[in-house]
Chain A
């Protein structure tokens, strides 16, 4: 016998404590009296009954010790191993959307459901559990009552929606093995063959897919580039023969186009969207798998920040403004900027909406540095910079903060945090350098603007792939954020941190409102691997464990121990009630 929670055995120390209570604290002080017969109305203990009384007292003590033992052992969760030919059954369910492909008019999932009944028929298993193999494996909570083998899957069907963008079957197998133990019988229900025909011992891999052609939308992007609202779609003919594929874009009237695809061909299609359309839907004709035939694209967010330039030197100010406002995400403002470029030290006044600050430093007697320059390449502000051939006019003193660009040990560009707000330093004398004449100058400011814009409340993008981690940024602590999804689903959160991960388990349109934002975004099932039904298969790999093989089966004794302890407690209470007057504590 082993214990799942052996620390609870420390509770056995309660037994010496109980004995101490009995023999020390609860002990009566002996006193000799001339006679007992005058102690009328008190509990009588005749001499011939003294022994019985001691036995009675000892019996109660033994009962209490037994109760303590039972409770401590129950808390320690004892597990005994019995030999049995029944094993725990782990059912790994492929949650990817390819399981929704039609096979002879029925989804593959239904075929798997029927196939499982045949697999488990006349099989013995001691318990069972489900692991949903989506992008991440998920262990389903056990059903409240054990169903018969015929409706075994019925308990998991509501969650087996087959809407995930992929199936991590390897991770799901590992989870099932970890939960069920080395002797668990694992049954994988999927539409794909195993990675290797030699499946692991104890795994029965059952695939119910059939290879069939499928036309799919495998990519979809919508951009607002240079004021043009455009969509980019990728369509694949995932079949062995050439095919004409019809694509419909919703609208009044709907636009239909037909393209010819060679076998296995992918085409990249661009569409201009008329201004003012928030949502655009594309639809392919019905085929084996419906879930990859539709794409809905929401209008990208126009994320711009208010930027102000406070530089006294006119020539330098023009250089800065030209680079800054060249970014499509920056708009000039005079008050309450979200990004401030200044040539004087800036002091935060304690306002809640503090701007990010880039302070420009100029040297009275600058030197011209030609490198080598060292850049913090993984920092977003240094993305795309190429400083070869650049001459950098700067002082001989380093800047404070985290170095982002240095010339040797001289810091030219740095970042620091003031009261939690980013504060950047850049020392550059344009009269002694050529940085402003290279692409690095607008790139640097564009990086700064994009980084600032990415920290605004809201979402990073309006269109997401199914399975992506959609994170909402908000600083409206205490307010309620509501997420409405496809099918009328709705969830709400009270904001207690600046990032909320929004669950998007189904493809479709979502609306998030509250916390200072009101956004519409789309989630699409776009995965060529799942859409490619040519790689699906039917068959079983591996075998069920031999029934004559007897395996050690672990059984927890907590519940029986608790039931016995409960009975003992009732008996103890009954006895104490009967001799309440006798035991005078």
Chain B
């Protein structure tokens, strides 16, 4: 791991020590755990009743109440959360875009969440996602002990995220990625959310991913595959790009909403300045120490 990368890890970790990972306010379906969450869940501790709504687990219907009142009533229980963080890093090369701090920001952000998890008393494990999801060498330890290179794979993480995983049940899962690959996010989120207490997706982007600069005739090189495309970067082509970028982001946001996952976007150039995370992360999963 390069010195610069270690520097970003240390800076992200240092900023993360001021925060603690909190049980999620929103959650995905079918969770069990040891932390008592504010949201209702499927623990045995009864909380209250409410009317049945389509999509509710049929096993929680209070059949005796139905017999008495002829109304479908759902028993609500406190959610159980496993205090474990599965931190998944998109290991593709696009995360380390040259001429941008994107790689450093993503690494620092991972260290930030590890620090917050330690502060909250969570255990954690760091994973690298590409063709398959593999644990980072010494990924259960603080970032200073991490071994191996980050963001060096030429393949997108979609295949790995679709494969059966070994994430901890009822744990919190944070996926740090730029989401810049062509794939349907629904099956990926299905798999990622399966058995999780909550899922946070932090999209780290370089500024040029959002607003590319005009540059005349350019040869665009895909940072992951090395594919080349020559074109004239003019207002029309940039407009088409931004429309596609907006559609792609919307696709992920819709899928995240359907699955109860939290999707936050962060610009690497801004993040490395003060390591201020998007507000939605503070609202959902971080508290000040």
**A584 contacts B244, CB within 8 Å?**
no
**Closest-CB distance, B129 to chain A (whole angstroms):** 16
Complex: how many Å from CA A31 to CA B244? 19
Please name the residue on chain A nearest to B216 by beta carbon.
A29
Residues of the A chain whose Cβ atoms lie less than 8 Å from the Cβ of B229: 36, 39, 42-45
By a CB distance below 8 angstroms, the chain A residues around B241 are 38-40
**Pick from B178, B221, B225, B240: contact of A31, CB under 8 Å:** B221
What are the interface flags for A19-42 relative to B under an 8 Å C-beta threshold, 1 for contact and 0 otherwise?
000000011111111111111111
**What residue in chain B is nearest A582 (Cβ atoms)?**
B230
Contact bitstring A557-585, B, C-beta under 8 A = 1, else 0: 00000000000000000000000001011
Q: How far is the CB of B231 from chain A (nearest CB, A)?
A: 5
Residues of A within 8 A of B231 (CB): 39, 42-43, 584
Closest to A584 in B: B232
B225 and A47 within 8 A (CB): yes
B98 at the interface (CB under 8 A from A): yes
Which residue from chain B places its CB closest to the CB of A37 in the assembled complex? Answer: B182
Q: Let me know if A46 is at the binding interface, CB within 8 A.
A: yes
Known contacts A29-B217, A29-B219, A31-B219; is-contact A38 B230 (Cβ 8 Å): no
C-alpha spacing A45/B225, complex, angstroms: 12
Instruction: Return B240 CB to nearest CB of chain A, in Å.
Output: 5
- Residues from chain B with a CB closer than 8 A to the CB of A31 are 215, 218-221
Interface segment, one of B40-48, B81-89, B109-117, B206-214 = B206-214
| Interface size bracket, A side | 20 to 34
- Asked if A53 lies at the interface with its beta carbon under 8 angstroms from chain B, I say yes
Please tell me if the beta carbons of B219 and A35 are within 8 angstroms of each other in the complex. Answer: no
- Name the residue of chain A whose CB is nearest to the CB of B183: A37
A157 within 8 A of B: no
- Residues on A with C-beta less than 8 A from B178 are 34
A37: which of B99, B181, B223 is its contact (CB, 8 Å)? B181
Question: Provided the pairs A45-B227, A584-B231 are in contact, do residues A35 and B215 lie with their beta carbons within 8 angstroms?
Answer: no
Q: How far is the CA of A582 from the CA of B230 in the complex (A)?
A: 8
B222 in contact with A36 (CB, 8 Å): yes
Question: Cβ of B222 and Cβ of A33 under 8 Å apart?
Answer: yes
Question: Is the CB–CB distance between A50 and B237 below 8 Å?
Answer: no
A39 to B221, CA, bound (A): 12
Contact status B220-A36, CB under 8 Å: yes
A32 x B98 contact (CB < 8 A): yes
Residue on A with the closest CB to B223? A32
From B102, B224, B228, contact of A45 by CB (8 A): B228
Residues of chain B lying within 8 A (CB to CB) of residue A42: 229, 231, 237, 240
Rounded to whole angstroms, the CA-CA distance of A38 and B230 in the bound complex is 14
User: Within the complex, what minimum Cβ distance (angstroms) separates A34 from chain B?
Assistant: 4
* CA distance in complex: A417, B132 (Å): 108
Contact bitstring A32-75, B, C-beta under 8 A = 1, else 0: 11111111111111110010010000000000000000000000
Residues in A whose Cβ lies below 8 Å from that of B98: 32
Chain A residue at minimal CB-CB distance from B233 = A31
Mark interface residues in A77-107 (1 if CB within 8 Å of B CB, else 0): 0000000000000000000000000000000
The residue on B at minimum CB distance from A48 is B227
Tell me whether chain B's interface is mostly helix, strand or loop, or mixed: mixed
CB B159 to nearest CB in A, in angstroms, measures 16
Chain B residues near A582 (CB-CB < 8 A): 230
Per-residue CB proximity of B70-111 to A under 8 Å, as 1/0? 000000000000000000000000100111001000000000
Q: Is B220 a contact partner of A584 (Cβ separation < 8 A)?
A: no
A32 and B97 contact, CB distance less than 8 A: yes
Does B281 lie at the interface of the complex (its beta carbon under 8 Å from any beta carbon of A)?
no
Bound Cα distance from A38 to B97, whole angstroms = 16
Residues of B within 8 A of A46 (CB): 227
A31 to B98, CA, bound (A): 9
Is B248 part of the binding interface, using a Cβ–Cβ cutoff of 8 Å?
yes
| Contact (Cβ within 8 A) B180 A35 | yes
Contact partners of A45 in chain B: CB under 8 A: 227-230
Inter-chain contact A47/B248, CB cutoff 8 Å: no
Q: How far is the CA of A28 from the CA of B231 in the complex (A)?
A: 8
Q: How far is the CA of A46 from the CA of B180 in the complex (A)?
A: 16
Task: Indicate if the CB atoms of A34 and B206 lie closer than 8 Å.
Answer: yes
> How distant is the Cα of A30 from the Cα of B206 in the complex, in angstroms?
17
- Minimum C-beta distance from A341 to chain B (A): 86
A140 → chain B closest CB, angstroms: 58
Q: Is the C-beta of B54 less than 8 angstroms from some C-beta in chain A?
A: no
B190 to chain A, nearest CB (A): 22
Contacts of B206 in A (CB 8 A): 34
CA distance in complex: A29, B181 (Å): 24
Interchain nearest-CB distance for A31 vs B (Å): 5
Whether A28 contacts B217 by the Cβ 8 Å rule is: yes
A33, B212: Cβ atoms closer than 8 Å: yes
- Measured in the bound complex, the distance between the Cα atoms of B228 and A28 in whole Å is 11
User: Whole-angstrom distance from the CB of A49 to the nearest CB of chain B?
Assistant: 9
Would B208 and A28 count as touching, CB distance under 8 A?
A: no
- Within the assembled complex, what's the spacing in Å between the Cα atoms of A26 and B216? 11
Distance from B174 Cβ to chain A, minimum over Cβ atoms (Å): 20
Asked whether A34 lies within 8 Å of B228 as measured between CB atoms, the reply is no
7 cross-chain pairs, A with B, having the tightest CB-CB distances, nearest first = A47-B227, A28-B219, A34-B94, A584-B232, A45-B229, A35-B180, A34-B180
24 contacting pairs across A/B (C-beta < 8 A): A29-B217, A31-B218, A32-B99, A32-B222, A34-B205, A34-B206, A34-B209, A35-B94, A35-B180, A35-B181, A37-B181, A38-B241, A38-B248, A39-B231, A39-B240, A40-B240, A40-B244, A41-B240, A45-B228, A45-B230, A47-B222, A47-B225, A584-B230, A584-B232
Hey, which bits of chain A sit against chain B, CB under 8 A?
26-47, 50, 53, 582, 584-585
| B-to-A contact residues, CB < 8 Å | 94, 97-99, 102, 178, 180-182, 205-206, 208-209, 212, 215-232, 237, 240-241, 244-245, 248
